[in-house]
């Protein structure tokens, strides 16, 4: 039997994102699922059906071999996402806040109680 050097199925796009194989599936999404305890089989068969099972294992193996570097990359993504979220919410504040919804629910429950329901 010959041992074949298989390349890790990761590509870096021009925008800096890292994708799996020939798909548009983001690397960090698969890693995050794995970190939540999802098996490679479930990731490829139920969550990202276009992901080949061998590629799921290869991506997870890459993560396990380069954990510190990948975790730093995931931290960068989280920081960038939080900053983008802050900018968006500052420019487009929500019309209904959590507090408003909770107050509405409390009012509805109060009216039900008064009506004897």
**Going residue by residue through the chain (117 aa), what tens digit of pLDDT does each one get?**
999 989 999 999 999 899 998 889 999 999 999 999 999 999 999 999 999 999 999 999 999 999 999 999 999 999 999 999 999 988 887 788 888 999 999 999 999 998 876
For the chain, which residues make up each domain, given as ranges? 10-92
Are the C-beta atoms of residues 43 and 56 closer than 8 Å to each other? yes
CA dist list (Å): 25 to 28, 42, 58, 98, 100:
9, 15, 14, 32, 37
- Domain 10-92 sits in CATH at 1.10.10.10
Q: What is the pTM of this model?
A: 0.73
């Amino acid at each position: 039997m010959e041992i074949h050097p298989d390349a890790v199925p990761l590509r870096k796009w021009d925008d800096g994102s890292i994708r799996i194989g020939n798909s548009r599936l983001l690397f960090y999404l698969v890693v995050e699922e794995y970190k939540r305890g999802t098996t490679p089989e479930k990731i490829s068969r139920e969550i990202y059906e276009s992901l080949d099972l061998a590629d799921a294992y290869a991506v997870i193996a890459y993560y396990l071999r380069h954990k510190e570097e990948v975790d730093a990359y995931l931290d960068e993504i989280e920081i960038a996402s939080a900053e983008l979220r802050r900018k968006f919410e500052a420019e487009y504040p929500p019309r209904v806040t959590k507090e408003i919804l909770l107050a509405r629910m409390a009012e509805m429950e109060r009216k039900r109680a008064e009506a004897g329901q």
